[in-house]
C-alpha cells in the first residue's frame, strides 16, 4: 500500500531585514521561530529567521558566516582577508574532491530572493567552460559576484566590466576583487600566435626564415583565421587588443617559444586587467587607497585544479595617483 506524507499549508509572516513583515501562504520554511507581532490570528504562524549553524562557521573551513544558510544582506560584509581565506579554503576542497557546495533547498532560494545578495568577493574570470569560477572555489549561489569574458580582460566592453565591479563594491559591499586567469587560455594563446607571426617573423634574418619548417609556419599563420572564422571579425579585434600582453611577456622573458610566452602572458594579462581597473575607476581607487577593498590577482591551473594567488599589482601604489574617472570608450 502506498503511503503519502501530507504537507500542511498555513498562513505565516516573515520579518524582513528592514523590520517590515510580509505575509505568505504555503508550507512554512524551516529554520524559523515565532515572533510576537500583535496580530490576532488563530491559524497563522508568525516566523522570523533563526541563526543557522553557518553563522558561526570558520571562514577558513566553509563559506563564511551566514545567518540564513546562504550569504544575504542580513549578513555583515567579509573583510578582504576573510574573503581570501574563504576562497582559498574552497579551492583546497575542490582540489581534494571534497566539495561542500550542493544544490540549494527552497528555504535558501527564498532567502536569496527575499533578502538580496552579500557575496564574499567579486571575481573577474575567463569565459572558458573548463574554468567555472563558483565550482573551483566550491561556492554556492550568492557567494561570489562573477564577471566572465574571453581572456578575463577589460580590452573591450570595458564599461560593462568596470561598471559591474563598481556596483559590487558600492552596493553589494564586497571587499575583495580578484582577477583570475588560467593556464592554457585560448585567447592568450591566440594573441601570442598573432604576435609571433606579425612581429617575431619580421625581425628574423631572411636565411633563417627560409630554413624554417614550412608546415609549422603555415599552421601558426592559419591559426587566427581558424579561431575567428575569417580575417575580419570581432574576435580578431579582441585578440589584436591582447597582442601587447604577449609582447610584454616576450620582453620580460627575453624571448622564448610560443608556448612559453603564452604561459607567462597569462600572468601579465592578470596584472593588465587589475591595472586597468585602478587606472579608470575612481570608485575602486578610493576604496583600495582607504584599505577598505583589496584588488588581487590569481591563476587557475586547469590540470591540478589549484589556484595560485598572486597578491596585489606591483604598480598599485603608482596607479592610485591616476586621475581618470571613466573608461576610454565611455568618455564624452
Which parts are annotated binding residues for Zn(2+)? 126, 128, 182, 185
Contact (Cβ atoms closer than 8 angstroms) between residue 261 and residue 305: no
**H, E, C per residue of 207-260:** HHHHHCCHHHHHHHHHHHHHHHCCCCCHHHHHHHHHHHHHHHHHHHHCCCCHHH
Read off the DSSP letter of residue 105.
P
* C-alpha dist (Å) from residue 84 to 79, 98, 111, 174, 328: 9, 19, 25, 12, 31
Distance, C-alpha 186 to centroid of its chain? 18
**Which residues are part of a known binding site?**
126, 128, 182, 185
| C-alpha cell belonging to residue 224 | 587566427
* C-alpha dist (Å) from residue 172 to 85, 154, 211, 276: 19, 21, 58, 21
Residue with cell 608556448: 259
Contact (Cβ atoms closer than 8 angstroms) between residue 115 and residue 70: no
For residue 57, count other CB atoms closer than 10 A to its CB: 15
Amino acid at each position: 500500500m502506498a503511503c503519502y506524507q501530507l504537507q500542511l499549508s498555513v498562513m505565516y509572516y516573515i520579518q524582513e531585514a528592514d523590520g517590515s513583515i510580509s505575509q505568505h501562504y504555503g508550507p512554512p520554511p524551516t529554520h524559523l521561530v515565532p515572533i510576537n507581532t500583535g496580530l490576532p490570528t488563530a491559524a497563522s504562524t508568525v516566523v522570523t529567521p533563526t541563526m543557522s549553524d553557518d553563522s558561526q562557521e570558520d571562514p577558513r573551513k566553509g563559506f563564511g558566516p551566514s545567518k540564513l544558510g546562504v550569504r544575504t544582506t542580513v549578513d555583515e560584509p567579509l573583510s578582504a582577508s576573510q574573503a581570501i581565506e574563504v576562497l582559498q579554503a574552497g579551492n583546497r576542497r575542490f582540489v581534494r574532491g571534497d566539495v561542500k557546495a550542493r544544490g540549494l533547498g527552497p528555504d535558501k532560494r527564498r532567502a536569496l530572493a527575499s533578502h538580496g545578495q552579500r557575496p564574499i568577493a567579486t571575481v573577474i574570470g575567463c569565459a572558458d567552460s573548463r574554468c567555472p569560477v563558483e565550482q573551483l572555489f566550491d561556492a554556492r549561489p550568492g557567494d561570489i559576484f562573477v564577471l566572465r569574458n574571453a581572456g578575463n580582460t577589460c580590452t573591450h566592453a570595458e564599461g560593462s566590466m568596470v561598471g559591474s565591479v563598481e556596483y559590487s563594491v558600492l552596493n553589494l559591499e564586497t571587499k575583495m576583487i580578484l582577477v583570475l586567469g588560467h593556464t592554457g587560455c585560448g585567447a592568450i594563446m591566440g594573441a601570442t600566435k598573432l604576435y609571433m607571426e606579425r612581429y617575431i617573423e619580421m625581425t628574423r634574418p631572411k636565411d633563417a626564415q627560409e630554413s624554417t619548417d614550412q608546415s609549422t609556419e603555415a599552421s601558426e599563420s592559419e591559426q587566427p583565421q581558424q579561431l575567428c572564422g575569417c580575417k575580419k571579425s570581432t574576435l580578431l579585434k579582441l585578440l589584436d587588443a591582447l597582442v601587447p600582453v604577449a609582447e610584454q611577456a616576450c620582453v620580460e622573458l627575453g624571448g622564448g617559444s610560443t608556448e612559453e610566452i603564452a604561459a607567462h602572458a597569462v600572468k601579465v594579462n592578470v596584472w593588465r586587467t587589475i591595472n586597468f581597473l585602478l587606472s579608470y575607476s575612481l570608485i575602486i581607487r578610493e576604496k583600495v587607497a582607504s584599505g577598505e577593498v583589496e584588488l588581487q590577482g590569481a591563476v587557475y591551473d586547469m590540470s591540478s585544479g589549484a589556484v595560485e594567488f598572486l597578491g596585489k599589482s606591483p604598480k598599485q601604489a603608482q596607479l592610485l595617483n591616476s586621475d581618470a574617472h571613466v573608461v576610454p570608450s565611455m568618455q564624452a
